[in-house]
Amino acid sequence: MIGWIIIGIIVLVLGYIVYIYNSIVTLRNKAESAWHDIEVQLKKRMNLIPNLVEIVRSYKDYEKDTLEKVIKARNQMLNSSDLGEKVEAAKTFLSGLGSFFAVAEAYPELKANEEYTSLKNALVNLEEDISNARMYYNAVIKDYNTAIEIFPNNIIAAKFRFTQLPYFEISESEKDEAYKTPKVEL
């Protein structure tokens, strides 16, 4: 009788360990899937950038440094292999893209170009999609990271080498910009 109780307890404990393991794997897979959704949007963005760069290059007074930073960040994103590297490269690219548009806005004839305006609008729509995908990704990452930190999950996560995944956060310069009071001119 005692032997069956011990076997029952062992089966319950093993069942619980399997349940926790499967829960963590499910969350990790959701996180990876969410990142792949972001990558699809980023790929679309990457495909628009060369066209925008060529349009801006056609204007004689373009700022070469800004274009080179955007192209370099784009290439870095395309060549990243690790999830952490990809997140960092995406943040760098996003920052460079902001500078790119700031420079482009300084040229009225460029702003009037229909092709530029069309590509910019497509990019603005993509940025909204990326923002939504990033919010979902970060929510899944929060759930995953929490799941591997809470007890007793943390014991199982350590045993099976589950590690925290990075959030897709805005850069420090973007944080500084976000807290500034917008200047409104009438």
Strands (E), the chain: none
**Structure-block tokens of residue 33:** 């899937």
Q: Is residue 126 exposed (0-12), middle (13-18) or buried (19+ Cβ within 10 Å)?
A: middle
Q: Mind listing the pLDDT tens digit of every residue in the chain (186 residues)?
A: 888 999 999 999 999 999 999 999 999 999 999 999 988 888 888 888 788 777 777 765 556 666 677 777 777 777 877 777 877 777 777 777 777 777 667 777 777 778 878 888 888 888 889 889 999 999 999 999 999 999 999 999 999 999 999 988 876 655 555 455 545 443
Domain ranges of the chain: 2-170
Best CA proximity match to 51, nearest among 116, 138, 104, 95: 116
Q: Is the pTM of this model over 0.75?
A: no
2-170 CATH, one of 1.20.1740.10, 3.40.640.10, 3.40.190.10, 1.20.1440.20? 1.20.1440.20
161 Rama sector, left if φ>0, alpha if ψ -120 to 50, beta otherwise: left
Number of H helices, E strands in the chain: 7, 0
